[in-house]
Structure 1
Amino acid sequence: MTQPIQLLLIDDNRSDRLLVLRELQREFEQLNVQEIISSGEFNRAIRQGGFDAVVTDFQLRWTTGLEILEAIKERYPDCPVIMFTNTGTEEIAVEAMKLGLDDYILKEPNRYVRVPSSVRAGIERAIAKKQAALLEIRFRALLEKLKIGVFRVSEAHELLECNPAFLTLLGVESIEQARSLLRFSFFSSLIQSASTAEIEKQELDLQRGDGQHIKVLLTMIVTRAGNTTVIDGILEESV
């Protein structure tokens, strides 16, 4: 975090803002804090953007922390929001978490020190998520250009996704045509065999959708995707 952290601090209570600021300044050498105490200031901040995280009270004279949270997440879904309050309830905390709240901290003397660490953790998660998304975009862009077919199959041996090179190798134009071809060819039995092996590599003769036979190298691996098992594979023409 070499650039100064831009933070919105939303709290009607000046004393509480000063206490939070003190803890934040102890934690971060480079920090720009915009204090928000009215709906006008909040609306301007929302329009301007450029902030890395938000710390908000729940009970404000002009709105609630839940409305702040919803407004932030609607425009900036990955922006960390920390709610620091002494007027909330367990039900409010649960509702806020469902709306994407990053942390919920009670306003107690020994809890102020938690705010900076929560802000840092939220920013680091947001950065990691952004980097992962960019990596996914670059990876998918690369797959679009490769002449190597990449595909994913479900436990039920249904083709879930593939890149254009995979369709080209199969001699079809759409994923629906690829599903039909794989369903009625011996290629589907190879996918089934991968269900019992960690990695499966085979060279085989494949009949394409246009009837042409080609030699291909098939590599498959069983992986976990959330709570389900999938088979990821690579298909390339043998030299």
Structure 2
Amino acid sequence: MSKTVQTFGEETISETVSVLVVDDDASLVELVETFLEREKRVFDVTTTTDSNEAITLAERGEVDAVVSDYDMPTRNGIELLKQIRNSRPDIPFILFTGKGSEEIASKAISAGVTDYLQKGGGSSQYKLLANRLMNAVEKHRSQRALEHSEEKFSKLVENSSDFIAIVSENALFEYASSSAESVIGYSSDELVGESVFEFVHPKDRKRVMEEFFRSVENPEEDVSVEFRLADSGEHPVILESRGNNLLDDDTVSGFVVNTRDITDLKDKQNQLEQRNDQLEHVQELIAHDVRTPLTAAESWLDLYEDEEDPAHLDNLRQALDRAVSLLDQTDALTEEPIVIRDLQTVALNETAKASWTTADTTDARLEIVDSRLLEANESQFGQLLENLFRNAIAHGDADTVRVGTLPGEDGFFVEDTGTGIPESERPRVFESGYTTGEVTNTGLGLVIVKQIANGHEWDVTLTESEEGGARFEFSNVTFKPDVCE
């Protein structure tokens, strides 16, 4: 079954998502059904107040995801989760409960719940539930697609070949199938008698040679090696060769090498992995980044109510605009890989000051060492700086954060006077889930910094400031000739 849905102005056909809503309150399951189907037209919602019926429906494979209350008479939501996971170990399961506590959240996470969300908060909470549910299903389907692709890739490698060759102990072609020309651009006659290494990219040649001669010394080992084709132009052709040592075989007396072009497969694999990673982070990103400008907006509103200073309204509007911008970016992340568009000329100092006002900087101080004009997407660049500021203050206990340019022509830095990050931990700071804060922190701030930097094609490294705090350096930045004062 399919439904027509609207996605970013383009009409597309999407497979229906079957959702099972479980709650002992009949009026509530009807309410959840109404909101979910209104928010996402691809949702086909089934409801039940009976946990036994829920288990039966899930075991039959009739649902793609489950949304369940926690406190129910027959069995609670975590017990239902465990029961369903016996037959559906990877089905997305969201605990949507009005009885929230750290103890329940901890138990839910330990049991493997996909997400945990408390009821309340009006219609916005149901919108959040719909988004998180959709993200969970898309992630699940994307993971299954990736696993299917990898399985298919493995079978193709083991059972098929586009180009078969027999290679001597001295790495000379003795035989090449006619398909060689379509794979690497050379005919059989051109290959026979030539060294196989002449057709390997110079930067890969040493590694391929080492693998080949290792297989000569260890005939019982099968060899598989990936490499770029020599002289394949600006976009290298990537080949995979699998070799079997049959030098002692009287019929073959050589290496049987199966070679095929895996350029497209590698590209698709990388795209699937990137897409899967983004879907994994997007639901946490909403809470992680949007909360900061909303908290700032609330504070500016309190100040305005106390002082009636119109300047506070400007700051309030700026914080709300920032929250909307972040939500727009989050929507984009669910649809496509991170690509930085709409580059503008922005001032390092002005963007840093604007980001400082929307970050929760408490009593800390921002110090602009110097500034330049650079090419960046202003909104995403501001998000990068906000995350670094928040990280320095919330986790590094910094009282001063400095921003400036690197010596030379291609970079800037953000450093602080806080506790810093131990050298042993630095390789992990850009990984999802890494945090030195409380368990409620998502650990996404620096992941997002890395993603935005990559989208701009900037290189980012983590070192130590003079005071022992964290220092993030961004290089390969495109600066404009004008100097900002």
- TM-score for both structures, normalised by structure 2: 0.33
Superposition deviation, residue 122 in structure 1: 0.8
Aligned residues of 2:96 and 2:119 also touching (Cα < 8 A): yes
State the alpha-carbon separation in 2 of the partners of residues 218 and 49 from structure 1: 40
Residues 53-64 of structure 1 aligned to structure 2 (within 5 Å): 53-64=65-76
The SS at the match of 1:63 is coil
Tell which deviates more after alignment, 86-95 or 7-16. Answer: 86-95
CA deviations over 1:47-100 (Å, ceiling 9, x no partner): 322211100000111111101111222211221111110113212212212322
Distance verdict in 2 for CA 1:40–1:210, change over 3 Å: closer
State the alpha-carbon separation in 1 of the partners of residues 128 and 23 from structure 2: 17
Residues 88-99 of structure 1 aligned to structure 2 (within 5 Å): 88-99=100-111
Aligned residues of 1:23 and 1:115 also touching (Cα < 8 A): no
From 121, 138, 141, the equivalent of 1:124 is 138
Residues 153-192 of structure 1 aligned to structure 2 (within 5 Å): none
Aligned residues of 1:8 and 1:33 also touching (Cα < 8 A): yes
Q: What count of residue pairs does the alignment treat as equivalent?
A: 177
Between structure 1 and structure 2, the one with the greater Rg is 2
Structure 1 or 2: larger strand share? 1
State the alpha-carbon separation in 2 of the partners of residues 217 and 43 from structure 1: 45
CA deviations over 1:111-145 (Å, ceiling 9, x no partner): 22211111101110011010011011001111212
Distance verdict in 2 for CA 1:200–1:59, change over 3 Å: same
Aligned residues of 2:55 and 2:84 also touching (Cα < 8 A): no
Aligned counterpart, 2:29: 17
Distance verdict in 2 for CA 1:64–1:234, change over 3 Å: same
Superposition deviation, residue 220 in structure 1: 6.7
Q: Is it true that 1:27 corresponds to 2:39 in the alignment? A: yes
Aligned counterpart, 1:113: 127
State the alpha-carbon separation in 1 of the partners of residues 103 and 147 from structure 2: 32
Residues 66-81 of structure 1 aligned to structure 2 (within 5 Å): 66-81=78-93
Distance verdict in 2 for CA 1:73–1:47, change over 3 Å: closer
Unaligned ranges ≥5, structure 2: 1-12, 170-202, 229-239, 244-254, 260-485
Aligned counterpart, 2:98: 86
Residues 211-230 of structure 1 aligned to structure 2 (within 5 Å): none
CA deviations over 1:163-203 (Å, ceiling 9, x no partner): xx9xxx99xxxxxxxxxxxxxxxxxxxxxxxxxxxx63236
State the alpha-carbon separation in 2 of the partners of residues 210 and 19 from structure 1: 67
The SS at the match of 1:84 is strand
Aligned residues of 1:19 and 1:112 also touching (Cα < 8 A): no
The SS at the match of 1:17 is helix
State the alpha-carbon separation in 2 of the partners of residues 136 and 219 from structure 1: 16
State the alpha-carbon separation in 2 of the partners of residues 218 and 76 from structure 1: 37
From 135, 141, 149, the equivalent of 2:149 is 135
Aligned residues of 2:22 and 2:48 also touching (Cα < 8 A): yes
Percent sequence identity over matched residues?
A: 25
State the alpha-carbon separation in 2 of the partners of residues 18 and 217 from structure 1: 56
CA deviations over 1:196-239 (Å, ceiling 9, x no partner): xxx6323647325459xxxx996579xxxxxxxxxxx8565689
Tell me: higher relative CO, structure 1 or 2? Use CA pairs within 8 A at least 6 residues apart. 1
Distance verdict in 2 for CA 1:22–1:39, change over 3 Å: closer
Aligned residues of 2:58 and 2:88 also touching (Cα < 8 A): no
Letter in 2 for 1:124: E
Q: Is it true that 1:7 corresponds to 2:19 in the alignment? A: yes
State the alpha-carbon separation in 1 of the partners of residues 113 and 224 from structure 2: 47
Distance verdict in 2 for CA 1:143–1:37, change over 3 Å: same
